Structures are given as C-alpha cells and as structure tokens.
C-alpha cells in the first residue's frame, strides 16, 4: 500500500467511527476518500461505501440492542424510522440501478455530489438542532427540577380526572407496546421484505448467477418480477407510513408529549424520511443490467 492509501484507510476508519456515533453512516466522508485516495470510480466507491456502512450498522445494532431510551421506557432503537426507511431504501436501490444505466457518468457524478452535499447539510442541521434542544432542556431542568418529567405516563394520568378511563387504558397499551425490545409487527414486515428481496434476486438472477427458475435477463418474466418487487416495496412504505402517522395522531389526541429526540410523524415528515430512503446515494454499479444497457442507453 502507498502512503496515500494508508492515510485514506485511516480517514475511512475515522469516518465510520464518527458516522456511527452520530448515526449518519459517514457516506459523505467515505466516498470522497475512496475517490481520491484509492482512485476508484464513482459507482465502485458508492458500492464499497454502502458495504462499509452496512457492516458498521450491524455492529452498532448489536451493541445498542439492550440499551434503553434515556427518558422513556422504550428501546433506544427507533423501529418506526427503520420500518419506514428500509423498504424505501430498497426501492431507491432498484431505481438507482436503472438511473445508472440510463444517464452518462458526468450526470451521475453531479447527482451523487448534490446528494452527498444535501445529506451532509441535513445531518449538520439535525445535529445542531438536537444539541440546542439538549442544552435548552438542561437549562430548564436546572431552573426547575420538575421539568425533567417531559412526557405524560400512565401513572401521571391516574391522578387526572379529566380523562376517560378508555384513554388511560389506551395510553398504557401504547407505553407497553413501545417498551417492547422488538416490536413484532414491524419486525415481521422487515423480515418479510428481506426474504422478498432474496427471492427477487434468485428469480431475476444476474450475469454471474443465473436465475434459479430459468428466467432470462430482460425477458418478460424478468420485468414482471422486477416491477412486482417495486410495487410491493412501495406498498410497504405506504402501510408503515399510514400506521406510524395514525399512532402519532392518536398520541396528540391523548396528550402524550414527545421528547426532543422523538419524531412527530406528520405526513411532511414521513415524506422527508422516505426521500432519504429513496436517495440517489443508492446509485451503484450492478452487472445484472449489462445485457440490457444497449437497449435504452447510448452512454455505456
């Protein structure tokens, strides 16, 4: 390894460490280092960056699995966000592969640069907002120690005579559901989506791995499987978005307050997080479309 590659490896390690600490992955730092330090192409750098981030997130999930939220009786892992962004992310990957084959590499470079700049700014803005909220909460708590009770629990409602017993029961049910280490419905949906992805890969095949059912690349059966997968991913995005939006509305009606780091799942916020999942950061090289390129793109 050359000196530049050694320095680049150190920088990538630092990017992964701080990216996992901040919860942003670090793609905005890893991709430029791979481009400059290892002289990789844009698509190769994106694919390798996704792999490195995936490994880091798996390890982080393992270490955070037993951690609890600092102010609420719930896991520190936000399964609402995961259940919304996972199908959107897989959907974005499918579209990213097509976009890679349609547009020239100069356009791909511009799209990737704009996406990385936007994600970097968004991460900075979110981190600054959270930091300011934490500082404000600390000051308020010092001024009034009782301000630490930032959310309404079932115990608080026992002394309230203005709410109906049915509301009290429903708040308890919500709190018990949030306290579960692994929410069953969201976990099942994500596992089903993962199995669906594996089935789709087995059916569609690629140049290096032929289809297990004998479907040829770019045949009618191939495109049926391809678009069926897209429809199912989009449907899962909608189902998860509808469920978390309905729960957020119910919390507002019941008077359950959110902490500073919780997301109020309004439809604009849901669209924002879905777009993160559909981000063009998923533009990566995929050899399965090499046979089809000449049919739709003059650039490859």
pLDDT tens, residue by residue, 28-54: 678 888 888 888 877 788 778 878 888
Tell me the range of 4-8, 47-51, 136-140, 276-280 where mean pLDDT is highest.
4-8
Per-residue pLDDT band at 24 (split at 50, 70, 90): low
Mean pLDDT in residue range 244-248: 91
Q: Is the pTM of this model over 0.85?
A: no
Per-residue pLDDT band at 164 (split at 50, 70, 90): low
How far is residue 28's CA from residue 91's CA, in Å, rounded to a whole number? Answer: 21
Kindly state the tokens that stand for 14: 């630092």
């Amino acid at each position: 390894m050359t000196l530049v590659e050694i320095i680049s490896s150190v920088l990538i390690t630092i990017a992964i460490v701080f990216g996992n600490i901040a919860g942003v992955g670090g793609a905005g730092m890893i991709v430029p280092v791979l481009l400059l330090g290892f002289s990789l192409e844009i698509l190769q750098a994106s694919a390798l960056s996704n792999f490195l981030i995936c490994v880091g997130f798996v390890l982080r999930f393992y270490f955070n699995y037993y951690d609890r939220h600092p102010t609420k009786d719930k896991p520190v892992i936000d399964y609402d966000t995961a259940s919304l962004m996972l199908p959107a992310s897989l959907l974005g990957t499918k579209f990213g592969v097509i976009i890679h084959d349609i547009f020239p590499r100069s356009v791909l470079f511009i799209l990737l640069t704009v996406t990385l700049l936007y994600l970097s700014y968004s991460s900075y803005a979110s981190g600054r907002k959270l930091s300011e909220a934490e500082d404000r909460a600390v000051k308020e708590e010092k001024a009034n120690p009782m301000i630490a009770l930032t959310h309404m629990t079932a115990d608080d409602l026992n002394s309230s005579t203005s709410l109906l017993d049915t509301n009290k029961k429903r708040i308890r049910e919500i709190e018990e559901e949030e306290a579960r280490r692994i929410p069953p419905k969201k976990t099942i949906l994500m596992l089903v989506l993962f199995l669906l992805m594996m089935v789709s890969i087995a059916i569609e095949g690629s140049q290096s791995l032929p289809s297990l059912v004998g479907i040829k690349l770019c045949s009618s059966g191939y495109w049926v499987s391809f678009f069926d997968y897209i429809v199912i991913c989009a449907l899962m995005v909608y189902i998860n978005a509808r469920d978390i939006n309905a729960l957020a509305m119910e919390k507002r009606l019941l008077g359950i307050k959110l902490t500073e780091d919780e997301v109020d799942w309004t439809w604009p916020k849901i669209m924002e997080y879905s777009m993160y999942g559909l981000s063009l950061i998923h533009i990566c090289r995929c050899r399965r479309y090499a046979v089809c390129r000449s049919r739709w793109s003059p650039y490859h």
